[in-house]
Structure 1
Amino acid sequence: MDKVMSLFEDADPLKTWWPFIIAVAVGVIVTIRTLMGGQRCPNVNQIDRQVVIVTGGNSGIGMEISKALAGRGGHVIMACRDLVKSARIVAMLKRELSCRTEGEYFIETRCLDLRSFDSVKRFARDIQAEFERVDILINNAGVIFHPESKSVDGFEMHLQVNYLAPFLLTHLLLPHLKKSDNGRVINVSAHAHATAKMDFDDPLNVGTWAVKFHARDAFSHSKLAVILATKWLARELKGSTVTVNACTPGLVRGTSHLRNSPLMSAMCVKFMTFPWMWLFMKNPQEGAQTAVRLATDPQLKLVTGEYFNDCEIATPSEMAKDKELAKRLFMETMRVLKLTGGDDEKD
């Protein structure tokens, strides 16, 4: 017994305990990644032959949404600016899905440039001419940290791509969405909406950006506008077969959105931040889960005007809950886009 005890006394602590230390470290890392990855879509429901439009479907979160919904039997139309890249992505997704199960998967791509309202109108006309209905519209495409610039239509780029163009697309496709038994509009927002400010007298903040521009503020403002307009449009469509909800994918790495981020400005910064991004940010597949649930879950058939995070209804910022601001923004957007509709007399 004395000899055994002497072995422990003479043992090097590092050599004795290193397997335990490594096991604990791995356990902590796995736990953090699991928590940061968020909740997965809790259902495996099929959406056989439902017509699904996903803007920005050829990369990042949009690509994962497209793959998931095509895998569930949907007829997915990836609405993208780059048709060459999109064609490659379509072929890749079909190969990946075919490797899982036998069968035919319906994924195609159409040209849509959210920087141009004319492009949005052409896309909507083509869809209306070819399809009898649209079942699901996912307004996923967007920009972040975009340098100060204006679209061909004269609007700040974050405002147009993230909010105005998706708003216009939704409005133009509403007649086809109403032909579906349960048309669903899913607008992708962001956690950043919570930091946004909005001028009640100028809810589109057109005048603000002419005076002082900051890409972070412009992005936040556009994502707040998405939630406010979602809530008011849901109210306008109450009693119809169409539901409208907003969601946040969370903080997601591995997307092209970060190419203009200050964190991506130098190789050394990328090298230093990558481990932390990997640990604390979702990958695109994890970021797609909430939108996938909103598109497929029959339990959400009557749920409208809500904001979702990690596949569950969440509470947005106080400003995002302001009904008067939502109404003002909605009406101003309709005016700016020269659209008709909306009921001013509703409470």
Structure 2
Amino acid sequence: MDFFKAQFTKIPQITPANLSTSTVLITGANAGLGLEAAREILKSKPQRLILAVRNLERGQAAVKELSSAKHASTQIDVRQLDQASFASIKAFADGLSGQKVDIAILNAGSWSFKWGQTTDGYESDLQVNVLGPALLSLLLLPNLRQAAASRAPDAPKPHLSFVSSGLHEMAKFPERSLPTGQMLAALNEQAKYNGQDRYQTSKVLGLLWVKELAKKTSSDEIIINAPNPGFCKTNLMHGSTGIMKYLTKGFGMALGRAPADGAKCILDGAMVKGAESHGRYLSEAAVKDEVAFARGAEGAEIQQKTWNEIIALFKKDGVLPKGAEHL
């Protein structure tokens, strides 16, 4: 019932902010919610908009599509970023070294429905939805802190927003009960893979990372949150097959939120909401509680476990940014 109520909640318009000296970064920005978020944020005339995309040709096509909405003062850059590759994430972040980023929207994600592995050796949805954004967030902290140090008085405080999903509440996530050091390993075993639960579980893990990263980062400096755009008419579920393919298509047509409204939910978190949203899940442009097991004593335990395992994984793979272990 809550889902249906949420889907038909009227999403408020976003009042343009003063982004005339701000740099905005959006991952997965060439299509769907990322492209709509870029279109919406151009109304605030940012000084620079960085579109982080896996395919540069599609990124350039997005620039052309956005050209009519772009103010003459806004510079749009297209940068390659593949969240299925730690090397690509590192190269992307290296390309921004010494440059400030005022707003970072980590939107790129996948829903595979079937087992697949990245070149780094991790289940694809686990890496693209959890490990990739986690690594990128650590690498972007210096850029966001640089923005905080030079922020104009009337500009929004730097924001780091991870696009979440209401479907996280449906996650079974039995791996959460495993001892520290075994949870991610279990999620990376093909024999234990559950395609019907993987996307939802990845969104819970993403939320737990957001909460712990926010705990270790002052809201006086950077706002870190997780806005949910709702179930939107996008191509996220293109990997579904059989009856599921037709069910999701019909479900989307009947109940799917317009991508423009989903983008407003994202921008509300990334530009409008303040310290009250730090470390929080947002839905329908309001601070909401996440799934019960991710809160309270149980939530704190899983949250710490998630952080420790991801940091250990980055350390093992030699990609942990300097100083991140001691945040």
Q: In 2 relative to 1, CA 289–68 (structure 1 residues): closer, same or farther, beyond 3 Å?
A: same
Partner of 2:152: none
Q: What's the counterpart of residue 9 of structure 1?
A: none
Contact 1:193 1:220 survives alignment (8 Å)? yes
- Which residue of 2 is the match for residue 251 of structure 1? 231
2:194 to 214, 233, 258: 214
Are residues 209 and 172 of structure 1, via their aligned partners in 2, closer, same or farther at CA, if it must alter by over 3 Å? closer
CA distance in 2, matches of 1:220, 1:265: 16
From 106, 110, 115, give the equivalent of 1:139: 106
Q: Is the 8 A contact 2:186 2:192 kept in 1?
A: no
Bigger fraction of residues in helix = 1
User: For 1:155 and 1:275, how far apart are their aligned partners in 2?
Assistant: 32
- Matched with 1:61 is 33
Distance 2:5 2:217 in 1: 39
| Structure 2 residue 103 is matched with structure 1 residue 103 | no
* Number of residue-to-residue matches in the alignment: 301
What's the counterpart of residue 311 of structure 2? 334
Shift in CA distance, 37/85, structure 1 to aligned 2, threshold 3 Å: farther
The one of 181, 205, 209 aligned to 2:184:
205
Superposed displacement of residue 77, structure 1 = 0.5
Q: Which residue of 1 aligns with 2:43?
A: 71
Which portions of structure 1, spanning 4 or more consecutive aligned residues, are displaced by more than 4 angstroms?
A: 32-35, 263-266, 273-276
Shifted more, 256-265 versus 70-79: the winner is 256-265
SS in 2 for 1:155: coil
The 10-residue stretch of structure 1 (239-248 or 34-43) with the greater mean CA deviation from structure 2: 34-43
Write the deviation string for residues 262-321 of structure 1: whole angstroms up to 9, x where unpaired. 36877xx37xx7565223111211111111112222x51564111100110011101222
Residues 163-211 of structure 1: per-residue CA shift (max 9 Å, x gap): 1011101101111111123321100111121122142425743224422
Equivalences for residues 261-280 of structure 1 within 5 A = 261-262=240-241, 269=246, 274=249, 276-280=251-255
Q: Deviations over 1:126-176 (max 9, x none)?
A: 0115x2x11111110000134311111111111100110111011011111
Task: State which of 291, 307, 310 in structure 1 corresponds to 2:266.
Answer: 291
Cα 1:230–1:262 shift into 2, 3 Å: same
Q: 1:42 and 1:111, CA in 2 relative to 1: closer, same or farther beyond 3 A? A: closer
Contact in 1 for aligned 2:23/2:101 (Cα 8 Å): yes
Instruction: Classify the secondary structure of the residue corresponding to 1:257.
Output: coil
Query: Among 48, 56, 69, which residue is 2:20 paired with?
Result: 48
Cα distance in structure 2, aligned partners of 1:174 and 1:35 = 33
> Sequence identity, in percent?
25
TM-score (normalised: structure 2):
0.84
Cα-to-partner distance string for 1:46-68 (whole Å, 9 max, x where unaligned): 32231111110000000001111
Unpaired runs of at least 5, structure 1: 1-31
Match for residue 230 of structure 1?
210
The superposition leaves residues 56-112 of structure 1 with CA deviations (integer Å, 9 ceiling, x where unpaired) of: 0000000001111122112211100110011011011112x15xxx63432221000
Letter in 2 for 1:329: T
Contact 1:137/1:184 (CA < 8 Å) preserved in 2?
yes
Corresponding letter in the other structure for 1:189: S
Select 1:310's aligned residue among 284, 287, 295.
284
* In structure 1, C-alpha distance between the alignment counterparts of 2:77 and 2:250, rounded to whole Å: 35
Is the CA contact (8 Å cut-off) linking 1:236 and 1:343 kept in structure 2? no
Deviations along 1:229-265, one digit per CA (max 9) or x if unpaired, are 1011101012650121012111111x22121123687
Return the letter of the residue paired with 1:313. V
Shift of the 87–203 alpha-carbon distance from structure 1 to 2, 3 Å rule, reads farther
Distance 1:248 1:113 in 2: 22
Identify which range, 33-42 or 71-80, moves more after superposition.
33-42
Contact residue 7 and residue 230 of structure 2 kept, 8 A? no
Out of 103, 119, 125, the position equivalent to 1:158 is 125
Match of 2:61 in 1: 88
Residues 263 and 59 of structure 1: CA distance in aligned 2, closer, same or farther (over 3 Å): farther
The runs of 5 or more residues in structure 2 that have no matched partner are 149-156
Q: Which residue of 2 aligns with 1:169?
A: 136
Counterpart secondary structure, 1:259 = coil
State the one-letter code of the partner of 2:141.
Answer: L
